[in-house]
Chain A
């Protein structure tokens, strides 16, 4: 949770959380608050969800604001929608907190334009493992449904990265649906920005002051997740610490770069690792065998992963799509999340937390970083 909000609108639940959110979206479309809504919808084959920009109200009947899986990161969809600018249409994007966080990072990186976008979020129960869902969609829908309806959100069927996510509630969005800990068949709709407040005003929705039940539940769950995260990081550490362990962990990597192309933060249109300059000619490859006696293919996998860590970990939002995308089941997201946690701490930065905090690589302080061991020798300018 970013900042603790002090007021929200009470909304009574009809047809479950999803039905309630859909009803709100229908109303806001009807009243002209938005011209379109970006929302997950089940694909015709029924075995996955895709982002769909809905303009006609009836289509919302097939949409699912709290989808058990979405194969593409929400920020990617927003990039496609707004990369050429904000346009003239108001669009509401209803997305998981990690999608919102990535969108915020991308807006700072000038890849997403949020001017005409209303970001709507909800307390996220986590998402399911993509492979499990594809194997048995109906069973997975049931599991997810009962998870969402349950009193305590049991995360044992969710993705590993969701199990350690302590950012599941109230990201820096315009409107947030508070689902946890709410009683008497009602939930709260909390405005996070002026844009959000205006929408509530337009729809004539009244505020209620007391969010304490929700707050209590959220804080409880954050504590649980923090604990799970610390435990997970302890497990990740020995798998990447030390050159040999790193090699072992990425030994099966087929160098497909799927993790990078699925990652919302890796936005570069031409990645160095996919470029021709990164591909040496045969003579040069043979030279590289001179001390080694041989060299394995695909080339430069460790360079790719460590390079990506140093390029983008400051903006990694731990969304997990890299793990979903990996054909050889390397827990890429666990590793990147572990690294990102530490690199972001260096600058007391939290990716996606707010639109105001500048990207660490865009600024500097005159007098900093002297504490990092041996970083700048002779920083005092002696000699």
Chain B
């Protein structure tokens, strides 16, 4: 019997909002899939596009970047810069015909445990419908 495909979603979550939101989801015992592999970063703007590219090319099925809502960044405007960076990264992916849909940026505040769970569920479904990332079976890269 084939095992059901459970994606691997590398998730960069900012310490002040999204990571705390994830904690809250846990404390409230909200259900979300084990596809999410959280990595705590100090701010969403700490996520160099190369982190995302690296995850993608090493076979992550999805990459989630979670930050504070606009205006709420602990470092004032980090997330506005994140948004521009992710925009360029997505543009590059699009131009190269890579699957930009495997990259998602979401704003999740420290009090939004339910939203964190919802984003994880939703994104996991999206990735499931995209299927496995083929880079994980590519030898020449």
Within 8 Å of chain B (Cβ to Cβ): is A4? no
Quick check: A247 and B115 within 8 Å, CB to CB? no
Contacts A292-B136, A383-B112, A383-B118 given; does A375 touch B86 at CB 8 Å:
yes
8 A Cβ contacts from A260-310 to B:
272, 288, 291-296, 300-303, 306-307, 309-310
Additional 4 contacts, C-beta under 8 A, given A307-B49, A377-B122, A381-B107 = A240-B97, A295-B139, A300-B57, A343-B88
Q: Shortest beta-carbon distance, A341 to chain B, in Å?
A: 10
Question: What 1/0 flags go to B82-121 for Cβ under 8 Å of A?
Answer: 0111111111100111101100111100001011001100
Quick check: A339 and B139 within 8 Å, CB to CB? no
Within 8 Å of chain A (Cβ to Cβ): is B1? no
Quick check: B97 and A246 within 8 Å, CB to CB? yes
Partner of A291, one of B59, B80, B87: B59
Contacts of B112 in A (CB 8 A): 383
Task: Tell me what chain B mostly uses at the interface: helix, strand, loop, or mixed.
Answer: helix
Contacts A291-B59, A364-B81 given; does A379 touch B107 at CB 8 Å:
yes
Within 8 Å of chain B (Cβ to Cβ): is A314? yes
Contacts A292-B137, A300-B57, A306-B53 given; does A375 touch B83 at CB 8 Å:
yes
Question: In the complex, how many residues of chain B place their beta carbon closer than 8 angstroms to a beta carbon of chain A?
Answer: 48
Name B residues whose Cβ lies closer than 8 Å to a Cβ of A: 48-50, 53-54, 57-59, 69-71, 77, 80-81, 83-92, 95-98, 100-101, 104-107, 112, 114-115, 118-119, 122, 134-141
**What 7 pairs across the A-B complex have the smallest Cβ distances?**
A364-B80, A310-B49, A241-B97, A242-B97, A383-B115, A307-B50, A296-B140
Contacts of B104 in A (CB 8 A): 374, 377
Cα separation A373 to B53 with both chains bound (whole Å): 19
